[in-house]
Amino acid sequence: MNRTAVLMVLLAAAALVVVVAPFVGMMHVPFSALWGAADDPTQIDVLWKLRIPRVCMALLAGTALATAGTAFQAMFRNPLATPFTLGVSSGASLGAAICIHLGWAFSVLRFSGISLFAFAGAMVSILLVYGLTRARGGSSTATMLLAGVAISFFFSSLILCLQYLSDFTRTFRMLRWVMGGLEGAVSFDEVLGVLPFVASGCLIVLYLTHEMNLITTGDELAASRGVALGRTKLVLFFAASLMVGAVVAVCGPIGFVGLMAPHICRLLIGPEHRYLTPAVMLFGGAFLTLCDTLARTVIAPTELPVGIITALLGGPFFLWLLLSRRSEF
């Protein structure tokens, strides 16, 4: 199958998932609820106030995480890089943990205090990584990677410290937050808050696909072919980190999508970023929407954290792809 066809199939699959997902769930909702014709007004509310915003959020989050994963894997030439490698999620988790520990419950412009603290934490970690990299002079990705990992560990132990010091309920809330999930994100306000970050981040990454191809071949070769390495890497770093920060602030650190979506798409469409990046965007969004739909239905009325589903479903799928395509890669 050629690459355009693969993209078309992914697009169709993503569209199907997005159209069907809002109508799946505990309560039956007829299609007509879309335009406000339903026997029971709660059906309209469930569709428009709960399910559609949640599907939108899952789509944005999946797209952002998968795209950022692709950007980081290209930038660090490391197949194990994830959107969280540079400590964005640890920063966000620390912010959320501080807010939970303090027991502050407030909201600004309908964003919860925890989300705002988490976003601030993510920004702090991004600025720290950037500052440390600059302090050592230049834009070495090795320094960036080490700074990110060090900050990650540092923040993680601060989180453990807070968990240890908090009472039982708060500790549980912190633990639950770190698992990630979309059950907290149920209004269009969050969707609209995250959208600008994800949209601009994705556009920037799409704009830099040629550069990502060249960076995969090595820094020197890329520079000699005309890539302004320092600037390109910095722009990629900020674009990817900001959208991940925004998503994590609302959904918590949802694992697996950012690591595996790029690999799965590489097996489907190859390593050329001009095709890989759009494929990853479609796949990541659709995959997380699918997983989230399962997360809220498999053991309804209880929800599973979506991070459990992403890995349970994605892991075997990835292994199957890897084994069935052995000859080509």
Partner 1 sequence: MTVIRLQSFSFRLGDKPILRDVSFAVEKGEYLAIVGPNGAGKTTLIKCLDRLLTGGTGEIEICGRPLRKYSQKQLARLISYVPQADGRVVPFTVEQFVLMGRYPYLSPFSAVSHEDRRAVAEALQLTGTAEFAARLLGTLSGGERQKVYIAAALAQGAEIVLLDEPTTFLDYRHQAEVTALLGRIHRSAGVTIVAVTHDLNHAVLESDRIVALREGRVAFCGPPVEIMRPDVLRKIYGTSLLLVEHPQVGLPVIVPQAPAKGNR
**In the complex, which residues of this chain contact partner 1 (CB under 8 A)?**
206-210, 213-214, 216-218, 220-221, 223-229, 266, 271-272, 329
What's the min distance (Å) between Cβ of 159 and partner 1?
Answer: 37
What's the min distance (Å) between Cβ of 216 and partner 1?
Answer: 7
What's the min distance (Å) between Cβ of 134 and partner 1?
Answer: 16
111 forms beta bridges with 108
Q: Which is nearer to partner 1, 80 or 108 (CB)?
A: 80
Q: Which is nearer to partner 1, 39 or 220 (CB)?
A: 220
Q: Which is nearer to partner 1, 223 or 312 (CB)?
A: 223
What's the min distance (Å) between Cβ of 96 and partner 1?
Answer: 36
CA 83 – CA 37 distance, rounded (Å) = 42
Q: Which is nearer to partner 1, 136 or 210 (CB)?
A: 210
What's the min distance (Å) between Cβ of 275 and partner 1?
Answer: 11
Q: Which is nearer to partner 1, 78 or 217 (CB)?
A: 217
What's the min distance (Å) between Cβ of 315 and partner 1?
Answer: 22
Q: Which is nearer to partner 1, 115 or 139 (CB)?
A: 139
What's the min distance (Å) between Cβ of 170 and partner 1?
Answer: 47
**Of the candidates 213, 197, 190, which has an alpha carbon nearest to the alpha carbon of residue 68?**
197
Q: Which is nearer to partner 1, 104 or 207 (CB)?
A: 207
